[in-house]
Amino acid sequence: MRGIAQYKKSRVEAASQQQVLVMLVQTAVRKLYEAEDLLDEPAELNKRLHHVRAIFIELSQALDHDLAPELCANLAELYSWIVRETVAIPSEPERLPPLLRVVENLMESWEMAAAEG
């Protein structure tokens, strides 16, 4: 396991900021798919949702509002909505599929932006 952890660490360290952003959102999508399979296991479901929340809280804190105020305001609002949805899902699991679609669309958008440089 140590070799895999070292590979992941070096992959992140060598990545650009855009690539790290894409990797984080890809991880969020993966965790949401895992959450879909864990709706009957509250402890495991909450672990996945907590991971997704942590990702979007971190992304929100990393926004540079001086660089692009309007874009950052929109992203901050979207990230806050995502966090709120992850809080609601344990008691309202029907909110997971729409959340997953939004985060997948976000991931695809960031992947395209990163590919364009």
What is the domain extent for residue 38? 16-116
In a domain, 42, yes or no: yes
CATH code where residue 108 lies: 1.20.120.340
Instruction: Report pLDDT digits (tens) over 76-110.
Output: 999 999 999 999 999 999 999 999 999 999 999 99
In a domain, 84, yes or no: yes
Number of domains in the chain: 1
Q: Residue 28: is it exposed, middle or buried by C-beta count within 10 angstroms (0-12/13-18/19+)? A: buried
In a domain, 7, yes or no: no
Mean pLDDT across 33-56: 97
Residue 101 is predicted with a pLDDT of 98
Mean pLDDT across 53-64: 97
In a domain, 73, yes or no: yes
Instruction: Report pLDDT digits (tens) over 2-39.
Output: 654 444 454 545 568 899 999 999 999 999 999 999 99
